[in-house]
Structure 1
Amino acid sequence: MSSVSSTPPWDVHRPPRAEGGVFLVTGGNAGIGYFIAEQLSSTGATVVLGSRDAARAEAAMASIRSRVAGARVCAVRLDLADLRSLATVVESPAIQRLDAVVHNAGVALDIPPWRETEDGHELMFGTNHLGHFALTGRLMPLLSAAPAARIVTVGSFAAKSERLDLDDLQCRRDYRPKRTYGRSKLAQMHFGLELDRRLRALGSTVASVVVHPGGALDGLTPSRPPVHVRTAGARLGAAPAALLVQGKHAGAWPAVRAVLDPGVSGGQLWGPRLFGLRGTPRREAVWSHLTDTAVAARLWDASCHLTDIDPGNPHG
């Protein structure tokens, strides 16, 4: 006698309904974050865009509403480069409850010079990692109050070839922008996995999942004016790369699945199906260097020291 699963196969174009859910997407006003927010909005959930720029957030909300009938979308000011400002996020009327947060926002610098956050940290490490680390601590009481909340950390394929220097986490001694970016994303991914280990040890109902978008190019991304406008030249220029990579709308798929799919569990890594670069989302083996719990624990301790916050405390 054979059994048939009652769970339908995952369809990236028709995610399951999530009425009543409240999801915060950091950096939801642009790039992959915008498409995560648009796709989550199609489920009937309330989606909160975390953004530094009110005008860009308004443009993103208008774009989502024009494409998703009845979209429940709002915005909250969020500056991950200013740790002190994060205390006001949980006071926002837009976030009175929370079922998931997607740590997507980030900065990348292609060329020097060195830049710092308001708190004096290297900008990419301070924003991409420390900002989300501290934000998680601020949000943990809300997440812990939900029945089964999720924290989804968006890493990067660029982190696969990087390793952390625990004695120079902010690359102060040898700053190279591309490497520093990759290490900041690697720190995020270590954090997401270590967070889940600590939450499991506490018996928490909150799960932490790590995802990455693979290769996601602007030239392969559909237009969403004024948030994103793809020119004919950009489309033609990116066409040859379509065999290996994809657009940012598809780069959003792993994060959306990590928020919504009941079959996704904490401590997992999800990315694109084909070579980790393009295609529908699938679970993949955690990269070998991400399994080093000693590195993750030292990073955690250093991050607690730098932010004066411990996200592993479910009561904040």
Structure 2
Amino acid sequence: MPRRPIDIAIPPLHGTRILLTGGSDGMGLVIATRLAAAGAELILPVRNPRKGEAALAAIRERAPEATVTLRTLDLSSLESVAALGETLTSEGEPIHVFIGNAGVMHPPERQTTRDGFELQFGTNHLGHAALIGHLLPLLRAGRARVTLQISIAANQGAVNWDDPNWERSYDSMGAYSHSKISYGLFGLELDRRSREAGWGITANLSHPGVAPTSLLDARPELGRDRAMRARGLITLLSRLGVLGTVASAGLPALMAATTPGDQGGKFFGPDGIRGLGGRPAEQTLYSRLRGADDGRRMWDLTQQLTRVTFPSA
């Protein structure tokens, strides 16, 4: 029997300005297409212009009336992050939804960003956090819903507080978990501080479960010339309905970003066994993300490393 597709309804988004990172392929392209089809004005920052143009064509094939603009962004460069922030701030248009979906996973050897941070930590967390900091006035003006895409990897490992850039003993999986826990702690602290200071921003977390997404593919820019070994098994289990699909993997982020009402401080993911697949739903927050003290500590560390400061009130 054919597998019944999993889906959710997206409310009309006309007049909603949305910035989505990581929207040029895979799960991110699915998210981008759904948002554009719902009428959103979509800002799509990309590192690779060719992939960006291909994504734009794919979106407009599915949603001919889509309003989508490509921007340049390399999350592994704080200079690039600041440049995008400056450009959008100069335009002065409020941002109503921010979805931080981009990420890198498992380089075979330790690599660093242009600023010297471990690549996964610098891209998955610090680059996004810096971008939010640069765009804070626009997010406040739009009373924005912020959604940060973490991973089931945030339910294992720990923050490497003593060596956040993994300079002394590198473990690729450990560094990936560290980046996603850091990102989640920051997002929840953003929501807390917004409520305390009256910024009008709400922040949620989402995770896609496990699905055969483009993160598993060959990534020559990471030094990975072939797909990850688990790619074949994940694809098979996805076909059997045990794991998610590329289409279903994007649904928790869409739910977090578009469900009407006050959704701040919540966590969305697939509702199947261990969150590997299933329908999107609100989830119990991972234990590693529950500590308010850890959130404050990550907030301070993030400002220190990126040199992007947030107002205290």
* TM-score, length of structure 1 as denominator length: 0.85
Deviations 1:24-55 (A, max 9, x none): 11111012211111111111111111111111
**Contact 1:74 1:94 (C-alpha < 8 Å) held by counterparts:** no
Deviations 1:277-306 (A, max 9, x none): 212211111112211112221121111111
Q: CA RMSD in A?
A: 2.2
Match of 1:89, SS state, is helix
Which of structure 1's runs of 4+ aligned residues deviate more than 6 A? 234-237
Please name the residue that 1:69 is paired with: 64
Deviations 1:139-193 (A, max 9, x none): 11001011x3111100001111121121111222221112211211111111111
Query: Are 2:101 and 1:104 aligned?
Result: yes
**Contact 1:137 1:313 (C-alpha < 8 Å) held by counterparts:** no
The structure 1 residue matched to 2:175, chosen from 173, 176, 180, is 180
Alignment of 1:182-197 (within 5 A): 182-197=177-192
Amino acid in the other structure paired with 2:252: P
Query: Are 2:269 and 1:245 aligned?
Result: no
The structure 1 residue matched to 2:119, chosen from 120, 123, 138, is 123
Alignment of 1:39-54 (within 5 A): 39-54=34-49
Q: Aligned residues: percent identity?
A: 35
- Give the superposition deviation at 1:238: 2.3
Deviations 1:203-239 (A, max 9, x none): 22110111100112149xxxxxxxxxxxxxx899823
Amino acid in the other structure paired with 1:292: G
CA–CA distance in 2 between the matches of 1:192 and 1:94?
Answer: 25
Alignment of 1:22-171 (within 5 A): 22-90=17-85, 91-92=87-88, 96-112=93-109, 114-146=110-142, 148-171=143-166
- Give the superposition deviation at 1:313: 5.8
Deviations 1:36-88 (A, max 9, x none): 11111111111111111111100001001001231111111011111022222
Please name the residue that 1:304 is paired with: 303
Change (3 A) 1:272 1:153: same
Match of 2:208, SS state, is coil
CA–CA distance in 2 between the matches of 1:21 and 1:260?
Answer: 10
**Contact 1:258 1:264 (C-alpha < 8 Å) held by counterparts:** no
**Contact 1:110 1:178 (C-alpha < 8 Å) held by counterparts:** no
Of stretches 259-268 and 119-128 in structure 1, the one that deviates more from structure 2 is 259-268
- Give the superposition deviation at 1:197: 0.9
Match of 1:56, SS state, is helix
CA–CA distance in 2 between the matches of 1:153 and 1:245?
Answer: 21
**Contact 1:46 1:72 (C-alpha < 8 Å) held by counterparts:** yes
Amino acid in the other structure paired with 1:272: P
CA–CA distance in 2 between the matches of 1:239 and 1:95?
Answer: 47
Amino acid in the other structure paired with 2:284: A
CA–CA distance in 2 between the matches of 1:121 and 1:305?
Answer: 13
**Structure 2 residue ranges without an equivalent (≥5):** 1-5, 215-230
Deviations 1:242-289 (A, max 9, x none): 332111211110111111111451111111121212122111111122
CA–CA distance in 1 between the matches of 2:299 and 2:23?
Answer: 26
Amino acid in the other structure paired with 2:244: Q
Change (3 A) 1:235 1:175: closer
CA–CA distance in 1 between the matches of 2:163 and 2:35?
Answer: 37
Query: Are 2:212 and 1:217 aligned?
Result: yes
**Contact 1:136 1:311 (C-alpha < 8 Å) held by counterparts:** no
* TM-score, length of structure 2 as denominator length: 0.86
Aligned residues: 289
Match of 2:42, SS state, is strand
**Structure 1 residue ranges without an equivalent (≥5):** 1-10, 220-233
Of stretches 90-99 and 197-206 in structure 1, the one that deviates more from structure 2 is 90-99
Amino acid in the other structure paired with 1:215: V
